[in-house]
Amino acid sequence: MAIYGANYVGCAVSVYDKSDNLLVTTTVAKHDRDALRIEVKSELNLKQGDEYKVLILTSPTPVFYLGKIIQEEYKKIIAMYKGKEKEDRKNARHSILLPALIESLIYDGQAYSLCMPLGVKVVNISQNGVRLRTPFNSLTHRDRFTLRMKIGGVDKLLVADVMNHRDVGNEYSEYGCRLSAGSAVN
C-alpha cells in the first residue's frame, strides 16, 4: 500500500522493534509514494528484511506504519515501505519517555498561559492520545491544555484533554489524554 497525500519530510519519526522497544528517534529526510527515508547512526543495527514499527508525529495526530528495511545506503539512509495501513490494534500505545511542557490551560476556548510551564514526562503515545506523568494531582478530569514536546528536533504544540488518571504513589500522577482533532498548533 502506498503512502499518499501527506508530506512527512521533517516530521519526527520513532522506530520500534517488534517488542515495542524504541530503537531510534529522528526525522523523515525524504518520502515518496512507497517509502520513508530516515537518517540513523551507523552503529544502530537495523537489518534489511526485518520488520519494524514506525511512529510519525504528524498533525493533527501521530500515524503508525509497519514496514521492513528494504535498502541501506552509504549515507546512513534507510528506506522503509509501508507494511500495513496502520497497526492491527486500533490505538496501539508506544513508550517514548520524553520530557514535555504543559504551557497553558484552556477554558471556554480561551488559552490561559501558566506563569511557569509544568514539566511532565510523556510515558507513551498512541494515534489519538498520550499518557503523561506529572507531579501529584497536577490536573483534573476533563482539563484541556496545550502540550509542547520535541521529538527528533521537531517542536510540536498539541491540544489535549484529560480523560482518566491514576496516582503513582504520593509523588506522581499519570493522565490518559486524548489529542484533539486538529490539535497541532505548529
Domain at 169, CATH number:
2.40.10.220
Global pTM exceeds 0.85: no
Whether 64 and 114 map to the same domain: the answer is no
**In the structure, what pLDDT confidence band is assigned to residue 128 with cuts at 50, 70 and 90?**
confident
Residue ending a domain, choose from 81, 105, 138:
81
Residue 1 covered by a domain: no
Number of domains observed in the structure of the chain: 2
Residue 5 covered by a domain: no
Whether 175 and 136 map to the same domain: the answer is yes
Whether 110 and 71 map to the same domain: the answer is no
The answer to whether residues 150 and 122 touch, using CB atoms and an 8 Å cutoff, is no
User: 117-123: which pairs have CB atoms within 8 A and are 24 or more residues apart?
Assistant: 117/148, 120/147, 121/97, 122/96, 122/97, 122/98, 122/149, 123/95, 123/96, 123/97, 123/174
Whether 48 and 118 map to the same domain: the answer is no
Residue 39 covered by a domain: yes
Whether 22 and 62 map to the same domain: the answer is yes
pLDDT of residue 36: 73
Instruction: Determine which of 72-76, 78-82, 84-88, 92-96 has the lowest per-residue pLDDT on average.
Output: 84-88
pLDDT of residue 73: 57
Q: Which domain holds residue 162?
A: 94-179
Whether 99 and 77 map to the same domain: the answer is no
Whether 101 and 138 map to the same domain: the answer is yes
Whether 146 and 71 map to the same domain: the answer is no
pLDDT digits (tens, 9 = 90+) for 8-35: 777 777 787 777 777 777 777 777 666 7
99 or 33: which leads in pLDDT: 99
Q: Is the pLDDT of residue 46 over 80?
A: no
pLDDT of residue 61: 63
CA distance 97 to 16: 13
Q: Is the pLDDT of residue 184 over 60?
A: no
Whether 116 and 169 map to the same domain: the answer is yes
